[in-house]
Amino acid sequence: MLQKPRNRGRSGGQAERDSDWSRGGNSGASRAGEHARARRDGFAEEAPSTSRGPGGSQGSQGARRSQASPAVGPRTQKQQELKVSELVQFLLIKDQKKIPIKRADILKHVIGDYKDIFPDLLKRAAERLQYVFGYKLVELEPKSNTYILINTLEPVEEDAEVRGDQGTPTTGLLMIVLGLIFMKGNTVKETEVWDFLRRLGVYPTKKHFIFGDPKKLITEDFVRQRYLEYRRIPHTDPVDYEFQWGPRTNLETSKMKVLKFVAKVHNQDPKDWPAQYCEALADEENRARPQPSGSAPSS
């Protein structure tokens, strides 16, 4: 669904965009830096028409841009900024649906001919996402080439009153399942999950007035969104499955946070579960230590 309209917009639009764009006309004389960069790229360009925005802060990045010039036409500063803008919007929209974004999709739907400067574009997009919107672009797992956005702003209860969408009402159910998995030693059988949820009035076969189809939510949606892992247990009859935390959960929350949630629900203190509390503490220490493979987008 995303593909066709975007493609049409892009192929037709690119030429229109550039020819119709008259904003950059009064940027005046370009600085020596700009000229030097243009020359280094090996393209004969006129002074780049638009030179505002993070061009300045990205200046050092631009200077370090690769010297390899592809067979495609010249790319002005403005064209690159437009690409970064497209990329930022693409990532925002995809993440809104909580679908991890595949690098292949990014290349196909947004980057196109700009493939050679993809790492630079992605880096700039990540910087804009962080500075402007407060979202951090992270790779789901090292070398997975899939990305998600983490909100660096702490969500607040009152946000719900000023939002335009329902946020994610299903998050509560997710938290319960995550809590259950952690408290039961990081793995739990599907049968145990439903035994537990039944007590809350949530059934796999019955439509729920808030969560809709709980079975689909837990075994499909949350799995697709990478919050949960769902694996078949071999040699079980009838077939049983087991749940574990997915990679997105570890990025978006922590064992300590989930333990605190569970404690709150029981009106108790996290320390009342010493084994889990120890595990959560160890996890916190691990997180505090700098990671060897950075979570920044890799090329």
Partner 1 sequence: MLLKLVLNSSAHCAQPIRNSYRVCSHMQGSTRRMGVMTDVHRRFLQLLMTHGVLEEWDVKRLQRHCYKVHDRNATVDKLEDFINNINSVLESLYIEIKRGVTEDDGRPIYALVNLATTSISKMATDFAENELDLFRKALELIIDSETGFASSTNILNLVDQLKGKKMRKKEAEQVLQKFVQSKWLIEKEGEFTLHGRAILEMEQYIRETYPDAVKICNICHSLLIQGQSCETCGIRMHLPCVAKYFQSNAEPRCPHCNDYWPHEIPEVFDPEKQREAGISKSNKKSLRSRQH
Distance of CA 145 to the CA centre of its chain: 12
Q: Which residues contact 277 (CB under 8 A, 6 or more apart)?
A: 259, 270, 271
Tell me the sheet residues that pair with 231: 242
Give min distance, CB of 85 to partner 1, in A: 4
- Contact flag: residue 162 with partner 1 (CB under 8 A): yes
For position 178 contacting partner 1 by CB under 8 A, the verdict is: yes
* 217 part of the interface to partner 1, by CB under 8 A: no
218 forms part of the interface with partner 1 (CB under 8 A)? no
Q: Among residues 189 and 260, whose Cβ is nearest to partner 1?
A: 260
Query: Which amino acid would we find at residue 292?
Result: P
Chain CA centroid to CA 22, Å: 34
Preceding peptide of 290 cis, ω within 30°: no
Q: Annotate each residue in 260-289 with x if it binds partner 1 (CB under 8 A) or - if it does not, as one string.
A: -x--xx------------------------
Q: Phi-psi category of 290—alpha, beta or left, where left has phi over 0 and alpha has psi -120 to 50?
A: beta
Integer Cα distance of 190 and 60 in angstroms: 53
Question: Per rule CB under 8 A, is residue 164 in the interface with partner 1?
Answer: yes
Q: How many residues bind partner 1, per CB under 8 A?
A: 80
Q: Applying CB under 8 A, does 153 fall inside the site for partner 1?
A: yes
Per CB under 8 A, does 239 bind partner 1? no
User: Pattern of binders to partner 1 over 13-52, x per CB under 8 A?
Assistant: x--xx--xx-----xxxxx-xx----------------xx
The yes or no reply on residue 229 touching partner 1 (CB under 8 A) is no
Residue 76 CB, shortest distance to partner 1, in Å, is 13
Query: Rounded distance, CA 219 to CA 196, Å?
Result: 15
